[in-house]
Amino acid sequence: MYIETASAMTTNADTLILPIAGEYIDSFHKALDTVARERKYLTLLEAPPLENARAFVLGMIAKGNPQFVALADGEVVGWCDISRHSFPSHAHAGNLGMGIISAYRGRGIGRRLIDTTLRAAFDAGIERVELSVHADNDRAIALYEKVGFVREGLARRSVRIDGCYKDAIHMAIIDQ
């Protein structure tokens, strides 16, 4: 693996980790929709309209919020982003979102994405990164704990998908 800086790319044999760019928006939207339609890991059950996803990505870029994508054969197969909170009293913190399409899970891509994105966030002055994860998503919880996130709370019956409730675990990591 090659890592130069948080703004540079990281690579291994089959995937590249790169900062999001306008040319990846359509592919990011497709990957987001693919993971959302699994109805298991994300709060979204389908991607928002492409125009909304485009506005989100361009807004992330304009605000300097870290957002990275994993590319395989030129297509987005995963992403990780941190949106800085907008209120001045919370601007030292941001919220993490990520996903990997199923065929690429278990290859270490999530770890590479989160490491790269956290490094970029801390370099940009974000001191605290928060997330919520479905309590039954053991693989994601293990990844988050492996990189240093700690559990801060449980939101009971926080999510309802197809009539079934799920708890959510709130986690955070603080730059040391």
90-134 pLDDT tens trace: 999 999 999 999 999 999 999 999 999 999 999 999 999 999 999
pLDDT for 58 beyond 50: yes
Question: What is the pLDDT averaged over residues 67-77?
Answer: 97
26-55 pLDDT tens trace: 999 999 999 999 999 999 999 999 999 999
Please tell me the distance from the alpha carbon of residue 28 to that of residue 165, in angstroms, as a whole number.
28
Confidence of residue 2 (pLDDT cuts 50, 70, 90): very low
CATH label, 2-126, candidates 3.90.1170.50, 3.40.50.11260, 1.20.1740.10, 3.40.630.30: 3.40.630.30
